[in-house]
Homo-oligomer: A and B are copies of this chain.
Amino acid sequence: MPKQRAPIRMPRSRTEAFSDGVFAIAATLLVVEVHVPDVHQPGLAGTLAHALREEWPSYAAYAVSFAVIGIMWVNHHATFDRVARVDRALLFLNLLLLGVVAFIPFPTAVLATYLRYGVDADSRTAAVFYSLVMLAAAFAFVLCWSYLGRHQDLLREDVEPHAARVALRRSWVGVAVYVVTIPVALLNPYLALATYAGLALFFVFAERPARDADD
């Protein structure tokens, strides 16, 4: 009677509903940090058209973070789709992951703000900070899959034993990828932004073989 000994009665569906809510809100809140330029402010000159073009780092950071949160939502679903029941530890590992995801609007806003000032120490710092938060999110997936690998009774019966190992290995790839973006951020924060965008596009377009491997 594995279902009756469940130590906490949180059904997977309600965990998913709460998680979907956090992912959807975090993605939608990103726009709050894109500010209306005030060209009528004393001391400022130029047209709105110019000011809107100057804000391109905000749009780029918005697009990249929206894509990243969307991809993490897809990954989150792929993870919980294999889970049969949620115990207390998995519940709090999931909250840890959600806490990092919900924080993403902040490093996004920092990156968008400091990319406006060109390549300097501060824009490098902003890009490293962004990389570190992404790293934390990737690591939260590692923690989830590491725990699921050690508690395979939480997984659905039709999930093959090696699936958790494959998923854990792929989570570590996510960590490694964001570790690599740190020296890129130190070199050139614009290149780092392009790298984040490229990683998102790579995941969307090119990851099919890896996905098939463990499906």
- Give the residues in chain B near A47, CB-CB below 8 Å: 121-122, 125
Q: How many copies does the complex hold?
A: 4
A208-B7 contact in complex given A18-B73, A66-B99, A98-B27, C-beta closer than 8 Å: yes
What sequence of 0s and 1s flags, for each residue 2-22 of chain A, a beta carbon within 8 Å of any chain B beta carbon?
A: 000001111000101110111
**A119 CB-CB contact with B under 8 Å:** no
**A61 CA / B121 CA spacing, docked (Å):** 27
Instruction: List residues of chain B with CB within 8 A of the CB of A29.
Output: 25, 28-29, 31-32
B8 near A18 with CB under 8 A, answer no
CA distance A3 to B215 in the complex (A): 13
CA distance A31 to B126 in the complex (A): 17
A36 to B62, CA, bound (A): 15
Residue from A36, A40, A211 having most chain B Cβ neighbours under 10 A: A36
Q: Is the CB of A28 within 8 A of B31?
A: no
Point out the residues of chain B lying under 8 angstroms from A31, CB to CB.
26, 29, 102-106
A7 to B37, CA, bound (A): 44
- Which residues of chain A from 89 to 133 have any CB-CB distance to chain B below 8 Å in the complex? 91-92, 95, 98-99, 102-106, 109-110, 113-114, 117, 121-122, 125-126, 129
Q: Which of A23-56 contact B (CB under 8 A)?
A: 23-34, 36-40, 47-49, 52
Interface size on A, residues (CB 8 A): 68
A47→B110 CA distance, assembly (Å): 13
Chain B neighbourhood of A99, CB < 8 A: 27, 63, 66-67, 70
Please tell me if the beta carbons of A7 and B211 are within 8 angstroms of each other in the complex. Answer: yes
Our pick among B21, B49, B66 for the contact of A24 (Cβ within 8 Å) is B21
Does chain B have a CB within 8 A of A81?
yes
Is A204 positioned at the interface, with any CB of B under 8 Å from its CB?
yes
Q: Apart from A7-B211, A24-B25, A34-B106, list 5 A-B contacts with CB within 8 A.
A: A8-B211, A37-B110, A52-B110, A52-B129, A66-B99
